[in-house]
């Protein structure tokens, strides 16, 4: 695996396109989004105001949803959930109150090693967006998983799962 560039959040027109799914969710059209895309509503660590991001689900199970912070530990949504972990996610029409928990590097590496071979095209595209040139091997996916922070969104009591 080779690092091609330092991943940076999109800007300009690319940022508008990147955030387009948020507008679908806001207009009640979240059902049109594939189930691997979720809307995260979190609290800004500096402003204290609600913020939203659309992120990709890497794993979904009885213990919650897992997403990777593709732009690393400096991503705004990642920094915000570190400060205020009680957030909500929306998948399709379902809004779920959850608590964000950062996964250990080893767990992230294992998740990516499983996700990559199951979803090779999507995983390669995600790795490219994150700035990694990979060959598609399990070892490369595991190496990416060690370098990218993963967060599990665990449903809180009283929330749907």
Q: Is the pLDDT of residue 3 over 60?
A: no
Tens of pLDDT, residue by residue over 56-97, are 898 998 899 999 998 888 889 999 999 999 999 999 889 999
Is 161 within a domain?
no
In sequence order, the β-bridge partners of residue 43 are: 50
Task: Pick left, alpha or beta for residue 113 (phi over 0 → left; psi -120 to 50 → alpha; otherwise beta).
Answer: alpha
User: Does the residue 92 lie in any domain?
Assistant: yes
Is residue 106 in some structural domain?
yes
* Tens-place pLDDT, residues 107-145: 999 999 999 999 999 899 888 888 888 899 999 999 999
User: Considering the domain boundaries, does residue 56 fall inside one?
Assistant: yes
The answer to whether 39 touches 57, Cβ cutoff 8 Å, is no
Q: Is the residue at 89 inside a domain?
A: yes
Structural domain includes residue 160: no
Average pLDDT, the chain: 88
CATH number at residue 18: 2.30.110.10
Alpha helices in the chain (DSSP H): 12-26, 76-83, 105-118, 120-129, 138-147
Domain region containing 67: 2-155
Q: How many domains in the chain?
A: 1
Q: How far apart are CA 104 and CA 147, in angstroms?
A: 11
- Quick: pLDDT tens for 9-29: 666 776 666 777 888 888 887
In a domain, 88, yes or no: yes
């Amino acid at each position: 695996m080779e690092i091609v560039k330092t991943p940076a959040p999109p800007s300009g027109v690319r940022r508008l396109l990147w955030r387009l799914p948020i507008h679908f969710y806001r207009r009640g059209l979240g059902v049109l989004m594939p189930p691997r895309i979720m809307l995260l509503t979190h609290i800004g660590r500096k402003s204290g105001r609600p913020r939203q991001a659309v992120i990709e689900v890497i794993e979904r199970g009885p213990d919650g949803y897992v997403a990777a912070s593709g732009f690393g530990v400096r991503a705004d949504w990642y920094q915000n959930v570190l400060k205020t972990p009680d957030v909500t996610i929306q998948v399709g029409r379902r809004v779920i109150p959850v608590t964000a928990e950062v996964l250990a590097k080893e767990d992230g590496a294992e998740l990516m090693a499983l996700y990559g071979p199951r979803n090779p095209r999507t995983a390669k595209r995600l790795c490219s967006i994150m700035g990694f040139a990979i060959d598609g091997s399990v070892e490369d996916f595991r190496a990416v998983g060690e370098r990218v922070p993963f967060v599990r969104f665990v449903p809180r009591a009283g929330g749907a799962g």
